[in-house]
Amino acid sequence: MTATTTPDTPATAAPWAPQGTLTIDTVTEHWAALHACIGQGQPVRADLAGITRVDTAGIQLLLVARRTAAGVGQDFSVSGLAVPTETCELLGITNDAANAAHPATVVGQEG
C-alpha cells in the first residue's frame, strides 16, 4: 500500500537510524524505537548506514517491522545497508544494485 499525499499534507517518512550493531544483544532496544516509528502513522524509513554488524536476529527484526508496518498500511523502506542480490530475493526485499551505493528497499506492500 502506498501513502497518499495531498498538497496540504505531504507524507514524510518516520526516520529510524540506529547506530552500532543490530544483533541478538540489541534487538530489544532497537525494536522499541522502531515500533514507535511505526506507530506514528506514516511511512517508516530505516537508515542502517550506522550499523556495523547484523546477525539473524537483526534480519528478523527488519522482517517483523516490515510485516507490522504492512499490517497498519504503512510503507517500510531500508537504506544504507549493502545486501547481496540473492539475499534480498530470499528475504523478500529489493535492491536496485548489488552494491553499497544503492539502498535496499523492503517490499511486501500490496496496493
List the domains of the chain with CATH numbers.
14-79 (3.30.750.24)
Q: pTM, whole model, 2 decimals?
A: 0.69
What is the C-alpha to C-alpha distance for residues 89 and 105, in angstroms, rounded to an integer? Answer: 11
Tens of each residue's pLDDT in the chain, 111 residues: 333 333 343 457 778 999 999 999 999 999 999 999 998 888 998 898 898 888 889 989 998 998 999 999 998 888 887 767 677 677 766 554 443 444 444 444 444
Cell digits of residue 2: 502506498
Q: Where are the beta strands (DSSP E) in 1-111?
A: 14-16, 20-22, 44-47, 51-54, 76-79, 93-95, 104-106
